[in-house]
Amino acid sequence: MNSLKLQLFFAGGGGKSMAAPIIIIMLLAMMVLPLPAFVLDIFFSFNIALAIIVLLTSLYTVKPLDFMAFPTILLVSTMLRLSLNVASTRVVLTEGHTGPDAAGKVIEAFGHFLIGGNYTVGIVVFIILTIINFTVVTKGAGRIAEVGARFALDAMPGKQMAIDADLNAGLIAEQEARRRRTEVAQEAEFYGAMDGASKYVRGDAVAGIMVTIINVIGGLMVGLLQHDMGFSAALKIYTLLAIGDGLVAQIPSLIISTAAGIVVSRVASEQDIGGQLITQLFAKPQVLYITAGIIGGMGLIPGMPHVAFILLAGVLGGGAYVIAKRAEVAVIVPQPEVPPAAPEQEEAGWQDIMPVDILGLEVGYRLISLVDKTQGGELLKRIKGIRRKFAQEVGFLAPPVHIRDNLELKPSVYTISLKGVEIGRGEAINGQFLAINPGMASGSLAGVVTTDPAFGLPATWIDESMREEAQTLGYTVVDAGTVVATHLNHLIMNHAAELLGRQEVQQLLDHVAKESPKLIEDLVPTVLSLSIIQKVLQNLLMEGVHIRDMRTIIETMAEHAATVQEPNELTALVRISLGRAIVQQLFPTGNELSVMTLDNRLERLLMQALQASGADGAGIEPGLADTLATQAEQATRQQEQMGLTPVLLVPGPLRALLARFLRRALPQLKVLSHSELPDSKTIRVTSLVGGQI
């Protein structure tokens, strides 16, 4: 900010850091030290030039933030004028008796040429300029800045929410969102600073009047008492010098005040002020024709200045005719070219293909407040927490969730999509709570009966007043935002394998390479391709195995990659290496593992089917497959009723076959092989699958 402010006074990189102290010292020196008339002329000329530069810059500014240093320039220019007033007052009072050029040629010029050497005219002109600056320009600019600051602050939450919505929808990148947030904050700060800086200009106008009056009275006293001048001569000389001094300060002040009004009153557009005036004020020839007719009619009235009015009417009429002809040419000329060009512009192109969101959440209009921070919605924060927890538990960062509203949905309905395809739908009543029956609740509740969208448990939507009653009866009570977040988390966990694309795999490998670069260099892509590693990781995720221990996974694949390239076989070897972690994930506590196993007869039949059909298990006889699925479901239900994790322990060759076969019907059933169990664990068989075959 400081460098922007001081570039008006210093050029080059070396002087920027010293510009601020030098300006302060210069202002103080002008107030304290006597300055010769020649130096005053230079500073007064610089003050006028600075005012003109600021005015022209404001005219060519497209938006207020392009001239962000304006409030500080306003303050510095005001202090410069006050310092010049003090310095010139000293010279006027000490050297004024020598003649009208005692305070320099600039003050003399303003005293003689602008007001004709008549101090009465000078007083009137000075008062008029001061009134215009104080009551019209500065007051109006200050009021506009005050209202602009208030509106900018009131609009900040809405603008921030719009930026967050565009970011979550993937319309803008994080860097663009950060830039927009900074611009919104700077806009509010700019109008607030302009509101405060305009007070300095108003104070400067009041100070100008007081300084001029003091200069006149002080000059009379000095001339009469110290230099024995006559009253008429003293009044004329010191009044002309005081008025000239005041005008030299007030005219730049009026120019800068006008620039302030232009900056704060302009509406955001892609054109500068000059372009807007030309294109909008003189855009309609009908307006100019009517104005020319009115002015011409006034010129025909007896006693009116006929030449001036009729000449102006002719200029306006001619200008309207030229504008109308240009508009006709602009409409007529492109017409033959537009029809053949239009179909070409409407042809589909690659830019019309929009990328599909990996994860998407669409909400009905009654759920918009859940994703609006200004209305107390915390769903965005919870989704960020879900992604962080997923990364910590599963082992890779899930893609961002793009949130948007959908007026085609029912007001309280939301949908969750994966790669553009809906994978979940639910209803969340904003302002109410969902009481979920985990199976141990006693009693019923009054409300809208439904099911939990994440796990399918019976539930009821209740009012907040019934929350404590529901918790007392054993219900799990959550708000609408938690319902959506839980459902989203459940689906992300279930579809983790589909979320792991090649980009995520490459990011995982790059992350491991930071600590073990040689391990990755020796494996990818010289021994194993990225697609094979991706398939192995997806196989693990598909069965709920976390991939946090990427070092073990990579080392295992590197160890066997020379002889094994098939992804399913590599997956089996990796699972053995991760056996301790897999068991820990299924049985967090205790050394005893309560599992289900296959009946010996069923195990032999499955081994024969596997040998006959290969690894896909397509040769399993349909009747045997139905019986296996039915008995596995019964055993799984029995395990869950006992409060145990349903785990089926099978020989290594059968593990992949049974895991694929039972995954669709029994997603909660986990299939382990004997080789995956650590030696430190004790196995307790709770039930047999296939005992009735």
User: What CATH number does the domain containing 417 carry?
Assistant: 3.40.30.60
Shared domain for 61 and 118, answered yes or no, is: yes
Cα atoms found within 13 Å of the Cα of residue 262, Cβ hemisphere only:
22
660 versus 94: which is more confidently predicted? 660
Q: Is the pLDDT of residue 281 over 70?
A: no
Cβ atoms of 122 and 244 within 8 Å: the answer is yes
Q: Which residues, listed in sequence order, are joined to residue 461 by a DSSP beta bridge?
A: 434, 448
How far apart CA 373 and CA 229 sit, in angstroms, is 76
Strands (E), 320-419: 359-363, 401-405, 413-418
Q: Is the pLDDT of residue 95 over 90?
A: no
Angle at 365 between CA 361 and CA 366, to 5 degrees: 105
Element (H, E) at 140: helix 139-168
Residue where one domain finishes, among candidates 577, 600, 629 = 577
**What pLDDT was estimated at residue 6?**
41
507-550: pLDDT as tens digits:
999 888 888 888 888 888 888 899 999 999 999 999 999 999 99
The reply to whether 400 falls in a domain is yes
Residue type for position 71: P
In 3D space, the residue among 423, 490, 427, 489 whose CA is nearest the CA of residue 460 turns out to be 427
Shared domain for 445 and 314, answered yes or no, is: no
**Cis-peptide, bond into residue 525, ω within 30° of zero:** yes
Please state, rounded to an integer, the average pLDDT across all residues of the chain. 79
How far apart CA 631 and CA 449 sit, in angstroms, is 33
Q: Which residue's structure tokens are 């009072």?
A: 93
Shared domain for 471 and 509, answered yes or no, is: no
Q: Is the pLDDT of residue 390 over 80?
A: yes
Query: CA dist 124 to 118, 120, 131, 241, Å?
Result: 10, 6, 11, 15
Residue where one domain finishes, among candidates 496, 530, 549 = 496
Question: Where does the pLDDT of residue 353 fall: very low under 50, low under 70, confident under 90, or very high at 90 and above?
Answer: confident
How far apart CA 84 and CA 90 sit, in angstroms, is 10
Shared domain for 528 and 475, answered yes or no, is: no
Shared domain for 256 and 287, answered yes or no, is: no
The reply to whether 19 falls in a domain is no
The reply to whether 338 falls in a domain is no
How far apart CA 644 and CA 453 sit, in angstroms, is 24
Element (H, E) at 660: helix 652-663
Say which residues have a Cβ less than 8 Å from residue 438's Cβ, sequence separation at least 6.
457, 474, 475, 476
The reply to whether 431 falls in a domain is yes
Range from 234-238, 346-350, 394-398 carrying the lowest mean pLDDT: 346-350
Shared domain for 425 and 489, answered yes or no, is: yes
**Cis-peptide, bond into residue 678, ω within 30° of zero:** no
Range from 197-206, 312-321, 374-383 carrying the lowest mean pLDDT: 197-206
**What pLDDT was estimated at residue 11?**
44
Shared domain for 290 and 388, answered yes or no, is: no
For the whole model, what pTM was predicted? 0.52
Domain count, the chain: 5
**What pLDDT was estimated at residue 254?**
76
21-74: pLDDT as tens digits:
777 777 777 777 777 777 777 877 888 888 888 888 877 777 777 777 777 777
In 3D space, the residue among 151, 182, 143 whose CA is nearest the CA of residue 260 turns out to be 143
The reply to whether 455 falls in a domain is yes
**What pLDDT was estimated at residue 13?**
47
Question: Where does the pLDDT of residue 574 fall: very low under 50, low under 70, confident under 90, or very high at 90 and above?
Answer: very high
Burial 67-90 (b: 16+ CB within 10 A, else e): bbbbbbbbbbbbbbbbbbbebbbb
The reply to whether 167 falls in a domain is no
The reply to whether 15 falls in a domain is no
Give the number of other Cβ atoms within 10 Å of residue 686's Cβ.
16
Shared domain for 296 and 227, answered yes or no, is: no
Residue where one domain finishes, among candidates 545, 577, 609 = 577
In 3D space, the residue among 92, 108, 126, 40 whose CA is nearest the CA of residue 220 turns out to be 92
**What pLDDT was estimated at residue 269?**
52
In which domain, by residue range, is 571 found?
500-577
Say which residues have a Cβ less than 8 Å from residue 330's Cβ, sequence separation at least 6.
none
The reply to whether 183 falls in a domain is no
What is the token pair recorded at 508? 């995982």
Mean pLDDT to the nearest integer, 322-351 = 59
Shared domain for 479 and 504, answered yes or no, is: no
